[in-house]
Structure 1
Amino acid sequence: MPAFAESAADPPLADSYLTLLRRGERDGIAPSTEGGLAVLECELPMIDVKCLTSSGGSASARERAACADAMARAASEWGFFQMTNHGVSRALLEEMRREQARLFRLPFETKAKAGLLNGSYRWGAPTATSLRHLSWSEAFHVPLASISGKDCDYGELSYLRGVLQEVADAMSRLATTVAVALAESLGYEATGGAFPAGCDETTCFLRLNRYPACPFAADTFGLVPHTDSDFLTVLCQDQVGGLQLMKDSRWVSVKPHPDALIVNVGDLFQAWSNNRYKSVEHKVVANAKAERFSVAYFLCPSYDSPVGTCGEPSPYRAFTFGEYRRKVQEDVKRTGKKIGLPNFLKHAA
């Protein structure tokens, strides 16, 4: 076992790993989190969304429809796609990366204290019972409404507030634009109400992620395999790589692109689309040498918002986001894993 000394900024991830490793050895469980299959590297579908994001309305209806159709095909076949000309400037994202690095390099005790960013700090996987459930990462899970709140403590990083707000505003506009375009491809017609219903700054959030270098990388997830329990996620990742998704029953590695943002479909959009769009299992693999940063925007409705459907018959019974979240939490507590949408099928197997 390699010797490893965590810095004062790192959460006690190595302690968690070694504790779970000893438990596995005691119970006769192998430490490896994955099989030995080679992982292919892929290029996600790349879509230029300038016709949807540029101001002035110069794009034709035909151009907008073609862009929306390209996103819909990717959402159906991959559950993921990349976007260029998305309207979030590279300068802003680089500024976010610098501020994010400063935030995560604070001492662990400072990050974990109750007040910082509304107590939104998370690390590892506190409920993990085996290495298969351990995430070698730390994050700030920040609701949009709290970013500019008077009670949100930024400590000595006062400049972070403005950068976070600007990123949140830009990603919020982008996520809504993409969601509406994907919905319109399935026949949805805007009638004045927002889509998805119930999504605003009190329900959507940013997640700032850091994946420290991990000496146990071969046996460790940066983020365990999962699907997202939202409508849509917009991700900005650095060039370290590590994101993998399930495609044709095997894991494929997503090649980073410096000018692209990644979009993935969440469980709620899969349900709303009657399974035409796919919420695909994905994960982050740990890196032995380099730390990785990412920022994710999650488009979520209020807990009492019905998820709805693009049309009947739907394979899913009516349910709210609150019901969905409660069921996910119950299943994780009871079985150690998320079951998700199959719980809400009208005719469960």
Structure 2
Amino acid sequence: MSQDPPYKKAYNSIFKMYSSRSNVPKKLPPVQGDDATLPLIDLSRLFSGEIEHERCVEEMVEAASEWGFFQVVNHGVPQEVLDMVYHEGRKVFDQPCSEKTRENFLNLSKNSYRRGNPNATSPSQFFWSEALQIDLTEIPNLPEDNKNLRTALEACVQEMTRLAQMMCELLGKRVKVKPNYFEENCIPANSNIRINKYPPCLSDSEIVGLIPHTDTDFITVLSQDTVGGLELKNDGRWLAVKPRPDALIVNIGDLFQNRC
């Protein structure tokens, strides 16, 4: 049985409309060939004395303000934890599509497994991807035969929560956010972990893995694989973010930007 969603069959009207209007101009801006050189911040400097600590925080503040993104190394998240999540995530996506789309898949809420875009009315609104998005409070609900997935997610959440709260508290001080604000408000019920799969898209720039968007949350901490594909917009230009194996990418979300 097929493991990949039948995108063309499920969204036949969209692709038929697309194939019949080949001369229509593309709606998405072309991605530039340049790689984005995101600010790279070594978090070990936070523990190298007061002067280095302050310089490190200043660099984070500047990157968050000018880019909305930055990379961090020496972040303390063990590579073996990330590898476990990659491995268990692949096992989920390798299951038959009929299994992934059944009700109560993995004992999770209805919209945890996501594919395509049911609200798309044109190819430019469609995304060629799968995702498993789990509220942190749901991780204990994973069935016993998915114990390895549960263990991997619990370990990842513990490490990412520590890292995210530390960075939020440091950035928040510069915009007069009260101490422990994020620890009190970014609780498991308001947070989630998401694993994405981006199969090869149709060979056209109008159909992409994920449509242009901003993250609506406070902060996203992202681990890229070595394949790449992440793109961001800066000063009106789309730039590809070259993967760096030892780095995590930090994305300042809409809630944090509005708070600032």
Question: TM-score if structure 2 supplies the norm length?
Answer: 0.90
Measure the CA separation in 2 of the matches of 1:34 and 1:237: 23
CA separation of 1:135 and 1:159: change in aligned 2, threshold 3 A? same
Whichever residue aligns with residue 164 of structure 2, its letter is: A
Tell me the equivalent position of 2:130.
Answer: 138
Tell me the equivalent position of 2:4.
Answer: 10
Counterparts of 1:223-234 in structure 2, within 5 Å, are 223-234=210-221
Tell me the equivalent position of 2:82.
Answer: 93
User: Could you give the per-residue CA deviations for residues 15-58 of structure 1, whole angstroms, max 9, x where no partner exists?
Assistant: 35653132245578737453446432122111011244xxxxx5
What's the RMSD between the two structures over aligned residues?
2.2
Q: Is the 8 A contact 1:83 1:262 kept in 2?
A: yes
Equivalent of 2:186, from 199, 206, 216? 199
Whichever residue aligns with residue 221 of structure 1, its letter is: V
Q: Is the 8 A contact 1:230 1:267 kept in 2?
A: yes
CA separation of 1:31 and 1:73: change in aligned 2, threshold 3 A? same
Q: Is the 8 A contact 1:68 1:185 kept in 2?
A: no
Tell me the equivalent position of 2:241.
Answer: 254
How many residues are paired up?
257
- Secondary structure, counterpart of 1:222 in structure 2: coil
User: Could you give the per-residue CA deviations for residues 66-107 of structure 1, whole angstroms, max 9, x where no partner exists?
Assistant: 211111110111110000011111111112111111111011
1:175 and 2:164 matched? yes
Measure the CA separation in 2 of the matches of 1:29 and 1:15: 23
Q: Is the 8 A contact 2:32 2:237 kept in 1?
A: no
Counterparts of 1:279-290 in structure 2, within 5 Å, are none
Q: Gaps (5+ residues) in structure 1?
A: 1-6, 53-57, 274-349
Measure the CA separation in 2 of the matches of 1:109 and 1:37: 35
Q: Is the 8 A contact 2:64 2:252 kept in 1?
A: yes
Measure the CA separation in 1 of the matches of 2:146 and 2:131: 16
Q: Is the 8 A contact 1:42 1:255 kept in 2?
A: yes
- Secondary structure, counterpart of 1:106 in structure 2: coil
Seq. identity, %: 38
Measure the CA separation in 2 of the matches of 1:36 and 1:224: 13
1:116 and 2:68 matched? no
Tell me the equivalent position of 1:67.
Answer: 56
Measure the CA separation in 2 of the matches of 1:187 and 1:264: 20
Deviation of the 1:249 alpha carbon = 0.6
CA separation of 1:243 and 1:102: change in aligned 2, threshold 3 A? same
Measure the CA separation in 2 of the matches of 1:173 and 1:48: 16
User: Could you give the per-residue CA deviations for residues 138-158 of structure 1, whole angstroms, max 9, x where no partner exists?
Assistant: 111100111023xx336x432
Measure the CA separation in 2 of the matches of 1:213 and 1:37: 17
Deviation of the 1:265 alpha carbon = 0.7
CA separation of 1:97 and 1:25: change in aligned 2, threshold 3 A? closer
Counterparts of 1:1-349 in structure 2, within 5 Å, are 8-16=2-10, 18-24=12-18, 30=24, 32-36=26-30, 38-52=32-46, 59-117=48-106, 118-119=108-109, 120-149=112-141, 152-153=142-143, 156-190=145-179, 193-195=180-182, 197-273=184-260
Answer 1 or 2: which has greater helix percent.
2
- Secondary structure, counterpart of 2:13 in structure 1: helix
Q: Larger relative contact order (C-alpha < 8 A, sep ≥ 6)?
A: 2
CA separation of 1:85 and 1:133: change in aligned 2, threshold 3 A? same
CA separation of 1:123 and 1:63: change in aligned 2, threshold 3 A? same
Measure the CA separation in 2 of the matches of 1:15 and 1:250: 34
CA separation of 1:87 and 1:34: change in aligned 2, threshold 3 A? same
Q: Is the 8 A contact 1:143 1:201 kept in 2?
A: yes
Deviation of the 1:187 alpha carbon = 4.0
User: Could you give the per-residue CA deviations for residues 202-258 of structure 1, whole angstroms, max 9, x where no partner exists?
Assistant: 110001111112243533110100001111110011011111111111101101100
